[in-house]
Amino acid sequence: MARTREFDTEAAVGRAMDLFWARGYEATSVRDLTQHLGIGQGSLYAAFGDKDGLYRAALEHYRTTLAAAALRSLEEGADARTAIRTLLTERIRIAVGGDGQGCLAVNAVCERSPRDEATRRTVRDMQDAAREALTEVLRAGVERGEVAKRHDPQTLAAFLVTFLNGLLVSSKITPDATALEPLVDVALTALD
């Protein structure tokens, strides 16, 4: 008779995400995970297969929570410039938290790529979603006269995602929102 799982896997994934985010994949051992999650090694393996499986689940959790919330903020903006500024400054705020832990997705691809195609694919999916959402906001901004018509919304969205990636890496070096937020104003001049 199979034993029933005695822990909340969703809560465990969230806590694992926090640990991987703070330490990185390589510096987080299975022992660290089991202690942090309060579960046995057998339970971890039964639920997630292995450390890689739990890491992928943590990245997916990040994608469906924090990354998805950032994209929702784009839809709530009064105008294109405000929506994009909110997205970028919110991402800075999250990245500088925890003494400059950065962005879990950017950290993951920097640490694990090119060895781990699954991680690269997950991060690429997140970036594609961000680029598509930004493209829609920019298209609407062009139609409303908030963004210069000379810009291709798709190219401008790709630029903003690339800028954001660099900003998130910089947040690990300089975990100071007051130093990074003025850069957002410079990037927003691309909308003119």
- DSSP one-letter string for 110-150: HHHTTT-HHHHHHHHHHHHHHHHHHHHHHHHHHHTTSS-TT
CA angle 7, 23, 50 (to 5 degrees): 45
Q: What are phi and psi of 20, to 5 degrees?
A: -60, -40
Judge whether 125 lies within some domain. yes
Q: How confident is residue 3, by pLDDT bands cut at 50, 70 and 90? A: low
pLDDT of res. 81: 93
CATH code of the domain containing 103: 1.10.357.10
Mean pLDDT, range 108-117, rounded to an integer: 87
Mean pLDDT, range 151-159, rounded to an integer: 95
| Domain that includes residue 107, residue range | 59-191
Judge whether 43 lies within some domain. no
> What is the signed CA dihedral for 131, 112, 103, 65, rounded to 10 degrees?
70
Judge whether 89 lies within some domain. yes
Higher pLDDT among residues 67 and 23, named by residue: 23
Mean pLDDT, range 141-163, rounded to an integer: 95
Q: Please determine, for residue 1, whether its predicted confidence score (pLDDT) is greater than 80.
A: no
Judge whether 39 lies within some domain. no
Judge whether 161 lies within some domain. yes
pLDDT of res. 96: 94
Q: Both tokens of residue 110? A: 């920097």
Using DSSP, state whether 3 is helix, strand or coil. Answer: coil
Cα four-point dihedral sign 129, 97, 51, 110: positive
Judge whether 1 lies within some domain. no
> What is the signed CA dihedral for 46, 51, 56, 61, rounded to 10 degrees?
70
Q: How confident is residue 163, by pLDDT bands cut at 50, 70 and 90? A: very high
Q: How confident is residue 77, by pLDDT bands cut at 50, 70 and 90? A: low
- Number of domains within the chain: 1
Q: How confident is residue 98, by pLDDT bands cut at 50, 70 and 90? A: confident
Q: What is the pLDDT of residues 16-31, one digit of tens each?
A: 999 999 999 999 999 9
Judge whether 116 lies within some domain. yes
Question: Do residues 112 and 25 touch, judged by C-beta distance below 8 A?
Answer: yes
Neighbour tally for 137: CB within 10 Å:
25
Q: What is the pLDDT of residues 45-61, one digit of tens each?
A: 999 999 999 999 999 99
Question: Do residues 3 and 17 touch, judged by C-beta distance below 8 A?
Answer: no
Q: Please determine, for residue 115, whether its predicted confidence score (pLDDT) is greater than 90.
A: no
pLDDT of res. 148: 94
Question: Do residues 101 and 111 touch, judged by C-beta distance below 8 A?
Answer: no
Judge whether 52 lies within some domain. no
pLDDT of res. 136: 93
- Amino acid residing at 92: I
